[in-house]
Structure 1
Amino acid sequence: MLQQLLMLFGFFSLVLALVFWVNKAVSLLDWLMGDGQSASVFLQLTLLSLPTILVNLLPIAAFAATVYVTNRLSAESELVVVQAAGYSPYRLARPVFFFSLIVAAMVAILAHVLVPLSVQELDMRRSEIARDVTARLLTEGTFVHPTKGITFYVRNISAAGELEDIYLSNSRDASQRQSFMASRALIVKGDGSTENGAPMLLMFDGMAQTYEFSGKRLSVTRFDSFAYGLGGLINTDVAGTRSIRATTTFDLLRANPALQADTGVSKDGMIAEANMRMNKALQSVAISLIGFGTLIVGGFSRFGLWRQILVAIVLLVVVKSIDNTLEGMIDNDARLWPFRYFATLLGLGMSWALLWKAAHPRLRRAPGLGSAS
């Protein structure tokens, strides 16, 4: 049974990962295409987002595998045979329990190690993309919009890196719109003399137009050479606070003052984040046992266990809904972090009650859970 659970768990994990990964990749692809990034950058970022996706869907995949395997064993009368041989529901739940511990270990590794590392690397890659002005601007023959109110066009880029026939429009100012056209241009990296070290756009043989909306007046200036700072057009200052999701659990539990100042999160907030990661692993055990307990309590029926499967799904939704509600409360007040485990403990209590009821068949009279036939 454990082997079947692991095989089906791998299948459901793969299917769910593909579904969530495609959904994540669509929004990420739209953002990267707008910035002119390559396919390799897209692949790197989507792979880095995979641990965050897996840590949330592995418990659901474990639930699906448990329900599927239990339903198949019941349909093939294997559960009836082993129960007739004297196996109690608690003993039958032993493989499911070991299976849930394996899933919990996977989730724990993801939550405590892989997710913080991937988020840290993802933040670094996003920072590099934010600084990479050339990738965001240099797309031949296409009007690009690196940020709202900015339009840039270059007809051709020579082998030497020279821009030919460029157009730049800046309409971020509500009172006027600036437009620049030049036959040649170069992008030069900034130095310490420029604000934030922002790059400069050096334009040659061109024209600058400024249109004032209030007076409806157009000013035209022709130039042989003109330097335009790109720091005001693209936010190259990506320095910010450290993400708490990129912080290891060990550092979160220490919660030293330097880390609190770096992340802008209080000590209670760090403890709440660490316990959230621990709870994800423990919840895998509760969810798997709920799926098994709900189906085992129904006994054998030649009409199938579809009603028990619906009840298991409802119980799963109840546990996850309570967990999400408490998560919102803890986000508003981190001092409530001990309630993080309430939904998990409730799920374990449900699974124990279901197994106890299955062990006492004389008490199994609920019409909603079916009867042996």
Structure 2
Amino acid sequence: MLSQLMVLFGFFALVLVSVYWVNRAVVLFDRLIADGHSAGVFLEFSALSLPSVIAVVLPMASFAAAVYVSNRMMGDSELTVVQATGYSPWRLARPVLVFGVIVAVMMSVLTHFLVPASVNQLKEREVEISGSVSARLLREGTFLHPGPGVTFFIRQITPEGELRDVYLSDRRRPSREVTYTAERAYVVQGDEGPRLVMISGLAQTLQVETGTLSTTLFTNFTYDISNLIVQDRDKDLQPRHMSTWDLMTRPAEMAEISGDSIARIGEELHGRFQQALLGLVAALIGFSTLMTGSFSRFGVGRQIVVAIFLLVVVKLVESGVSDPTRNTAMLWPLVYLPSAVGLAISAFLLHLAARPFRPGRALTDPEAAT
């Protein structure tokens, strides 16, 4: 049974990760490619977002695997035969428990190591590429709008980095519009930011109120383009970017660095342990709910619906305790309430499945009838 659970878990995990990753990749593709970044940057960002996606879908994959395997074994009467030999639902739940522990260990590796490292690296790369001049401006044959009221065009970019036939329209001031055209141009890095050096060009200035147009020929002209590139300066670390070890050993320092409260640091720390336990809880809920049903030609569709509903209840409990634990540091034990509720539900359902008396059997018992 454990081997079947692992095989189906791998299948469902692969399918769910693919679905979630494709949805996120589409958003990343639109945002990055629209800003002029290369396919390599897109692949890098997709890879860095993958651990977070896997951490989200693993509990769902464990739940789906437990439900599928239990349903198939009940449909093939395998569980009925095993129970007839004296195995109780508690005994049958042992492989599911071992499977849940394995999933919880996988989740722990993700939540404590891979996810914090990936989101931290992703934040650093976002800051780096947000100020990329080459991605925002240096695209040949395309009219770009790097900012409100600004249009930029380059006909050709040579291998040496020379820009040919440059067009720049600056309409940011309501009273004046300036259009620059140049045969050649270069992007140079100055002390205060990037500069566009235009050579052999023409500047046309239109005074909007009077309608006066003035032209100026120039041999070379330097234009400040640093204000056209809006760089993300938010480099402050958030609790989700920090390692579990730092959250455990230096909570006060981490709270000061992130600008959050000690309660928020504790909620993030214990939330990582709680998230790992969800893989175990989801598997047990899926198995124990199906064990409450008996063999039927119509399947166990009702039990599957109930299992999904119980999983939703656990997630609702998780949402309900997030605000109190985030605001009050002393309430950190509430973070584990969803897992406790899930384990209690599983234990209760296994107890119902193992009870010696079932309603309705008394009518078919000959001794009870006499």
Residue 181 of structure 1 is matched in structure 2 by 181
**How many residue pairs were aligned?**
360
Given the superposition, is the C-alpha separation of residues 330 and 206 from structure 1 closer, same or farther in structure 2, using an over 3 Å criterion?
A: farther
Structure 2 counterparts to residues 186-225 of structure 1, below 5 A: 186-191=186-191, 194=192, 198-210=193-205, 220-225=215-220
Rounded to whole Å, the distance in 1 between the matches of 2:214 and 2:351 is 84
Given the superposition, is the C-alpha separation of residues 310 and 162 from structure 1 closer, same or farther in structure 2, using an over 3 Å criterion?
A: same
Native 8 Å contact 1:298 1:308 kept in 2: yes
**TM-score (norm. length: structure 1):** 0.89
Residue 238 of structure 1 is matched in structure 2 by 233
Rounded to whole Å, the distance in 1 between the matches of 2:343 and 2:214 is 73
Given the superposition, is the C-alpha separation of residues 217 and 62 from structure 1 closer, same or farther in structure 2, using an over 3 Å criterion?
A: farther
Rounded to whole Å, the distance in 2 between the matches of 1:336 and 1:219 is 70
Rounded to whole Å, the distance in 2 between the matches of 1:104 and 1:172 is 55
Structure 1 SS opposite 2:293: coil
Given the superposition, is the C-alpha separation of residues 108 and 169 from structure 1 closer, same or farther in structure 2, using an over 3 Å criterion?
A: farther
Residue 251 of structure 1 is matched in structure 2 by 246
Rounded to whole Å, the distance in 2 between the matches of 1:148 and 1:255 is 44
- Asked whether 1:292 is paired with 2:287, we answer yes
**1:271 is matched by which residue type in structure 2?**
G
Given the superposition, is the C-alpha separation of residues 61 and 129 from structure 1 closer, same or farther in structure 2, using an over 3 Å criterion?
A: same
Residue 121 of structure 1 is matched in structure 2 by 121
- Deviation per residue, 1:89-139 (Å, 9 max, x gap): 111010001001000111110000001111122122222212321122111
**TM-score (norm. length: structure 2):** 0.90
Given the superposition, is the C-alpha separation of residues 316 and 258 from structure 1 closer, same or farther in structure 2, using an over 3 Å criterion?
A: closer
Structure 2 counterparts to residues 96-135 of structure 1, below 5 A: 96-135=96-135
Native 8 Å contact 1:296 1:358 kept in 2: yes
Unaligned runs of 5+ in 1: 366-373
Residue 363 of structure 2 is matched in structure 1 by none
Residue 162 of structure 1 is matched in structure 2 by 162
Native 8 Å contact 1:255 1:267 kept in 2: no
1:362 offset after TM fit, Å? 1.9
Rounded to whole Å, the distance in 2 between the matches of 1:305 and 1:355 is 16
1:329 offset after TM fit, Å? 5.3
Residue 353 of structure 1 is matched in structure 2 by 348
- Deviation per residue, 1:62-109 (Å, 9 max, x gap): 000000000000000000001001111111010001001000111110
Residue 40 of structure 1 is matched in structure 2 by 40
Structure 1 SS opposite 2:143: coil
Rounded to whole Å, the distance in 2 between the matches of 1:309 and 1:277 is 28
Native 8 Å contact 1:34 1:136 kept in 2: no
Given the superposition, is the C-alpha separation of residues 213 and 94 from structure 1 closer, same or farther in structure 2, using an over 3 Å criterion?
A: farther
1:37 offset after TM fit, Å? 1.4
**1:120 is matched by which residue type in structure 2?**
N
Residue 327 of structure 1 is matched in structure 2 by 322
After superposition, the CA RMSD in angstroms is 2.3
Native 8 Å contact 1:148 1:172 kept in 2: yes
Residue 87 of structure 1 is matched in structure 2 by 87
Residue 141 of structure 1 is matched in structure 2 by 141
Given the superposition, is the C-alpha separation of residues 321 and 234 from structure 1 closer, same or farther in structure 2, using an over 3 Å criterion?
A: same
Structure 2 SS opposite 1:309: helix
- Deviation per residue, 1:159-201 (Å, 9 max, x gap): 211111122334555665544322211111222xx1xxx2111
Native 8 Å contact 1:140 1:155 kept in 2: yes
Given the superposition, is the C-alpha separation of residues 96 and 207 from structure 1 closer, same or farther in structure 2, using an over 3 Å criterion?
A: same
Rounded to whole Å, the distance in 2 between the matches of 1:348 and 1:213 is 72
- Deviation per residue, 1:288-327 (Å, 9 max, x gap): 1110011001121121111111111111122113323433
Given the superposition, is the C-alpha separation of residues 74 and 214 from structure 1 closer, same or farther in structure 2, using an over 3 Å criterion?
A: farther
Given the superposition, is the C-alpha separation of residues 248 and 156 from structure 1 closer, same or farther in structure 2, using an over 3 Å criterion?
A: same
1:223 offset after TM fit, Å? 2.7
Given the superposition, is the C-alpha separation of residues 174 and 131 from structure 1 closer, same or farther in structure 2, using an over 3 Å criterion?
A: same
Rounded to whole Å, the distance in 2 between the matches of 1:178 and 1:361 is 88
**1:251 is matched by which residue type in structure 2?**
D
Residue 338 of structure 1 is matched in structure 2 by 333
Structure 2 counterparts to residues 264-283 of structure 1, below 5 A: 264-283=259-278
**1:343 is matched by which residue type in structure 2?**
P
Structure 2 SS opposite 1:37: coil
Native 8 Å contact 1:357 1:364 kept in 2: no
1:280 offset after TM fit, Å? 0.3
1:220 offset after TM fit, Å? 4.6
Percent of aligned pairs with the same residue? 47
**1:8 is matched by which residue type in structure 2?**
L
- Asked whether 1:10 is paired with 2:5, we answer no
Rounded to whole Å, the distance in 2 between the matches of 1:148 and 1:362 is 75
Given the superposition, is the C-alpha separation of residues 168 and 280 from structure 1 closer, same or farther in structure 2, using an over 3 Å criterion?
A: same
**2:292 is matched by which residue type in structure 1?**
V
Radius of gyration: which is bigger? 2
Rounded to whole Å, the distance in 1 between the matches of 2:254 and 2:209 is 50
- Asked whether 1:50 is paired with 2:45, we answer no
Rounded to whole Å, the distance in 1 between the matches of 2:170 and 2:316 is 47
Rounded to whole Å, the distance in 2 between the matches of 1:3 and 1:16 is 20
Rounded to whole Å, the distance in 2 between the matches of 1:90 and 1:170 is 74
Unaligned runs of 5+ in 2: 361-370
Residue 371 of structure 1 is matched in structure 2 by none
Residue 63 of structure 2 is matched in structure 1 by 63
Rounded to whole Å, the distance in 2 between the matches of 1:312 and 1:256 is 38
1:260 offset after TM fit, Å? 2.7
Rounded to whole Å, the distance in 2 between the matches of 1:46 and 1:219 is 50
Native 8 Å contact 2:251 2:265 kept in 1: no
